[in-house]
Structures are given as structure tokens and as C-alpha cells.
Amino acid sequence: MKPPHAAASSRPTVDYPEPPTSEELPIELPAGSRWGVCLSHDIDHLGLREHLVDGFLLRYGFNIARQNLLRRWRPGRAVGAWWGIARAALGHDPWDVLEELLEAEARAGVKSTWFIAVRSGLGINYRPPAIQRAVDRLRAAGQEVGLHGQCSGDAAGLAEEVRELAAICGAPVRGLRMHYLRLGREVLDGMQAAGLEYDSTVMDRGNLDPDQHPLPGPRRLREGLLEIPLHVMDSTLFSVTGLGLDLAGARDYVRRLGDRAAELGRVVTVNLHPNSYSSQDPEIKQWYDILLSELTARSDVWLTDFRGLVERIRW
């Protein structure tokens, strides 16, 4: 019999675009830690209001129905989320949560890596002034800012995205995660041209069973370039096109994955989309708050962002 999570996600695996040039590289955990968690955020939206004229809200409204009505009959949840769209039109933006998420992480005493895009497209529609404000705020809070890349088939385009983000940051950019996890050789060419150090886009969804998850570690992609695979994504846990878990199921999943990581001495990489940390997705917000409080209550877990993780990879 197949383990319950093994085939539950209909989302495809994101593989290496070419064979890595190393085996899995060891991560030196800080003294006293048995395993670790690396926190990251893909910024697909800075607000719902940026979508009032681009047609995205129609797809989003349809997805609310799909998430709440087809497999899980929760009409109250759908009505609440649609009401959130209406309120956004009236001025209160439920996806404007950057400050709230920063506060939650500051309370927990953790840092995370925020991947932000500089190009619109594929559902992303925030503009340069909003990007600058977000980057300034994140950097003032001491957070790492990486690129949420868009140019998946164009090395020069990707390198240009990196340069633009570095100019916005006023500092070099070290890391990347591609939007929609669209990774190809051109991305690696662009990363090398722009001097990036790491990518975290590869995601093996072939075996999501938390008791048997391989939790693949970092590998060298090319000279000077690391790939640090992604393990846990909010949408993979909660979406009906992913594992379709509820809050209790997602808590249990991560707890078991933590046991697995402790057994293997691994660092679990997590991605929470900031807009999911909102009243539009109350279960995901609650899940992340609980995750932070459970992890920080333990003494055997090392919590880090990608900056901290890269420093401890021996390569």
C-alpha cells in the first residue's frame, strides 16, 4: 500500500536542470542542535489592491471556490475570502501583511529570507515604488532579500533582474528562488553571470510522506553555485491541488517531518507565501504562528535563514 502522502500532490517535481557537480554536501549544525529549519518567503503579492485592474482577482475568486467548495465544504471560509476582496476594493487590504509577519518573526526571534520579484507577470503585479518600500523595510529589519526570478528562459534577463534588485537593495544579492519554480539551464547561466551564490528552487514532490521524506540536502550545481532544495511549501500542504491538509493535518505533517529531520540531522527548508499569512487564509496563518512557537520552544532545533545556512555548508 502506498503511504498516504506519497502520491497525494498533483504538483510536479522540480528537478535539477543538469546533473549537479557534487553529492549532497554536509551542513554543520550549531552545537546542541539535532536538526534545523530554514525559513523563507516567496513574495508573489504585496497586496490585493495591486490586482484591482489586472484580471488576477477573477482567477483568485475562482480559486477560493475551488479550495473551499469542491473537496472541502466550507462555504463560510469562501464567503470570508470573497468579502476580503470586496474590502480591498474599499481600501482595507488583507494581503498587506508584511509588517505583521515581520512582527511575528521578531517576537519569535527568528530571521528569514524574502524572495522578491522585480518583474511583473504570471500573477505578480507589484510596482517599483512598492518593491522599494518593501525592500527598505525588510533590510531595516535585518532580513535577507533574495530574488524571486521571472526570466526562466533568458540568462541575460535573469542577470539583469539580479542587478536591478541589487540596485534597489543597495547591496549585493546572493540568492534566488524562481517564481512558479521554473528552473532551467538559462537560469544557471544567468546566476553565474550575476554572481549569485545559491538557488532554492528544486523541489522533489515524488515522496512527500513525512516519515520517509528524503529531505535532500544542498549540492554544488556549478562552480561557485549551490542548490539548496525546498522541502515544505504552504500551498503544497494546504491546497486541494497539493496535499489538501487542514490545520491539524499540517501540524502533524511538520511534526513528523521534524522527527525525520532529527533522525537524519537535516535542515528542513520552508516557504510561506507572505500573502497566505492573512485573514484570507486563516488556517495557514495559524499554522505558521504555531510552527514558530513550537520550534522556538525546543532547544534542539536550529532556526535560520538562507544566509545562515549557506555559511554552514561545507563545499
Q: Which residues bind Zn ion (CB under 5 A)?
A: 42, 44, 179
Q: Please say which residue, 116 or 313, places its beta carbon nearer to Zn ion.
A: 116
Q: Please say which residue, 179 or 231, places its beta carbon nearer to Zn ion.
A: 179
CB of residue 6 vs Zn ion: minimum separation in angstroms?
25
SS (H, E, C) 197-248: CEECCCECCCCCCCCCCCCCCCEEEECCEEECCCCEEHHHHHCCCCCCCCHH
Q: Please say which residue, 179 or 307, places its beta carbon nearer to Zn ion.
A: 179
CB of residue 281 vs Zn ion: minimum separation in angstroms?
15
CB of residue 179 vs Zn ion: minimum separation in angstroms?
4
C-alpha cell, 76:
463560510
Burial class, 71, CB count within 10 angstroms (exposed 0-12 / middle 13-18 / buried 19+): exposed
Q: Please say which residue, 42 or 93, places its beta carbon nearer to Zn ion.
A: 42
Coil/strand/helix, residue 46: coil
Coil/strand/helix, residue 261: helix
Our measurement of the distance from residue 255's CA atom to the centroid of its chain's CA atoms, rounded to an integer in Å, reads 18
CB of residue 206 vs Zn ion: minimum separation in angstroms?
21
Q: Please say which residue, 50 or 209, places its beta carbon nearer to Zn ion.
A: 50
CB of residue 202 vs Zn ion: minimum separation in angstroms?
15
CB of residue 178 vs Zn ion: minimum separation in angstroms?
8
Q: Please say which residue, 44 or 93, places its beta carbon nearer to Zn ion.
A: 44
- Closest residue to Zn ion, based on beta-carbon distance: 179
Spell out the alpha helix ranges (H) of the chain.
56-65, 75-90, 98-108, 128-140, 155-169, 185-194, 234-238, 247-264, 282-296, 306-311
Which residues, in sequence order, are CB contacts of 161 under 8 Å at separation 6+? 117, 118, 119, 147, 149, 150, 151, 190
